[in-house]
Structure 1
Amino acid sequence: MKVQIDSARCQGHGRCYDLAPELFSEDDEGYGQVVGEGSVPPDEERAARLAVSNCPERAIEIL
């Protein structure tokens, strides 16, 4: 499983990095970004799905 953020849709609410700080961080302007290559370890899959479902712009996608 991998995650990615559509930077054109992200509005910087920060829910992704609040809910799954191991998978997401913020850039210099507060917009979400994927940590590393976006690979999600099995023990973080629930956190990834929670971040996806809580993104108001639906900017996060699971691959």
Structure 2
Amino acid sequence: MAFFIKWFLLYTSGFIALAMLGDWFDGVPFETKPRLWQCAAAGLVLTLLRCWHPDVIFI
């Protein structure tokens, strides 16, 4: 399960970075993009981590 989470986080962060770079090359500044906690994939990962490790505080 930890292997899946590690690769899921890696691919998710990679796709977010590519999407932000694509918008940046189109002339859209980074500030207009949603923050990481507003991303559905990142929110799901943070929720799962919160369920497995409730004593750890995530931003």
**Same topology, TM > 0.5:** no
Structure with the largest fraction of strand: 1
Whose relative contact order is higher, 1 or 2, with alpha carbons under 8 Å and at least 6 apart?
1
Structure with the largest fraction of helix: 2
- In our comparison, the structure showing a higher alpha carbon Rg is 2
